[in-house]
Amino acid sequence: MIFDLNLDRVRNRPGIKWERHGNDVLSAWVADMDVEVPDFIKEAVIERIEVGGLGYGFYDEPIPVLEAFKSRMDTAFGWSIDTEDVMRVHDVIQGLEWVLHTLTPPGSEIVVQTPVYPPFYSSVEGTGRNWVANPLLENEEGWALDFDHLAEVAARDNVSALLLCHPHNPCGYVMTSADLAQIIEIAELNNLLVISDEIHCDLVYSPHKHVPTASISELAAQRTVTLTAATKTFNMAGLRMAFIHSSSRQYSPQLKEIRPRMIGGINGLGQVATAAGWEKGDAWIAELVEGLDHNRHLLAEMLSEHLPQIRYRPPQATYLSWLDCRDLGLGDNPAEIFMSRGKVALNSGLDFGVEGTGYVRLNFATSPEMLAMIVERMASAV
Ligand SMILES: Cc1ncc(COP(=O)(O)O)c(C=O)c1O
């Protein structure tokens, strides 16, 4: 049902994904899905508007969305949190910039696992810090962290934090508890902050499981600041609502000193929608992940039939695929060729760092029919 889409409606949808390039282009770039927002979210938002509840929201506990967050982290991931340790922000990247600004010294170095979501670079640079790459390794079994290199760079004098994309965008890698334990060990040894962006936490394919970084041990909880949101899961990025969590005795008091006015009052409809999603979304998420799981394998079949030169490893999480197009001979930026010759909008791998040269990122959160059209157009461009 979720993936049974009216493609005309999708292609005429307002918003950056479908409006930016015009509707003769098929859009598989920015991380919005083509699926409809679930009914329980639409109903909650409409109800709030209909009862005239668009005034100021709550500043004091109990704040419904924080209760929903606590309960969802517990039931979904067995992570027990305290609502007092959670701050509301407008989006994850705003949260990231506040965390960098508040908890890391200007000019210090932040380690990122590359290739990675482009704002990780721009936010680090924009807040006056410098990023240091710890490139992911790719072997027969899939992606892996380079712990030897991580241990080496983390020991540099100027490094202040490890920034994790967990699950990883664009590689779709899901770090295991053992990975996280090693990361925390390295952070502890070098007295580093761990910032864990977990916005894709619900979109993980079995047998992989999302383990919140802060949940693995008391040591991890003391080192970690978590950033998350429900906006990716329920396809409502425009509603702008995200969370910063930390129960660290070192970091949490400093985060609480951020002036609420400098964050700004939080969008009431974003909170209503987020709470509804976390309270009522379990069955919908299960159906969504099943459909995405189908698409990630379908993409493999279609690529091997139409574009066998592309190397693709179905991701362990997220609806984003990282396609190695180097054997197609389309140069450093194949996204440009797919756009100009095939009228398909993909993300250029170059935006994700130097490791993305010759790669594109394709968003497969659409109907199987649309996915087939996208692959056919890509093939026609080659
Ligand atoms: C890893 C990651 N973090 C953050 C974001 C953006 O979140 P927000 O819109 O809440 O800033 C995205 C969006 O694709 C993402 O993939």
pLDDT band with cut points at 50, 70 and 90 for residue 275: very high
Largest CA distance in the chain: 58
Ligand 1 pocket, CB under 6 A: 31, 91-93, 117, 165, 169, 197, 199, 229, 231, 237, 242
Res. 242: pLDDT tops 90? yes
Task: Could you list the beta-strand ranges (E) of 171-266.
Answer: 193-197, 224-228, 242-245
Position 23 scores a pLDDT of 77
Closest CA to ligand 1's atom 2: 199
Q: Are strands 193-197 and 26-27 parallel, antiparallel or unpaired?
A: unpaired
Task: Classify 159 as helix, strand or coil.
Answer: strand
Separation in Å, CA 357 to CA 113, 171, 381 = 16, 14, 19
Nearby residues of 127 by Cβ (< 8 Å), 6 or more positions away: 97, 100, 101, 106
Closest CA to ligand 1's atom 4: 92
For residue 237, count CB atoms less than 10 angstroms from its CB and return exposed for 0-12, middle for 13-18, buried for 19 or more. buried
Position 30 scores a pLDDT of 97
User: Identity (one letter) of the amino acid at 170?
Assistant: P
Position 1 scores a pLDDT of 87
Residue-range domains of the chain with CATH:
7-38+282-381 (3.90.1150.10), 55-280 (3.40.640.10)
pTM of the predicted model over 0.95: yes
- The string over 301-316, giving b where at least 16 C-beta atoms fall within 10 Å of a residue's C-beta and e elsewhere, is ebbeebbeebebbbbb
For ligand 1, the distance from its centroid to the CA atom of residue 244, given in whole angstroms, is 13
**What pairs with residue 323 in β-bridges?**
312, 360
Q: Is 198 in contact with 212 (CB distance < 8 Å)? A: yes
Taking only the tens place, the pLDDT of each residue in 116-134 is 999 999 999 999 999 999 9
Higher pLDDT, 279 or 55: 279
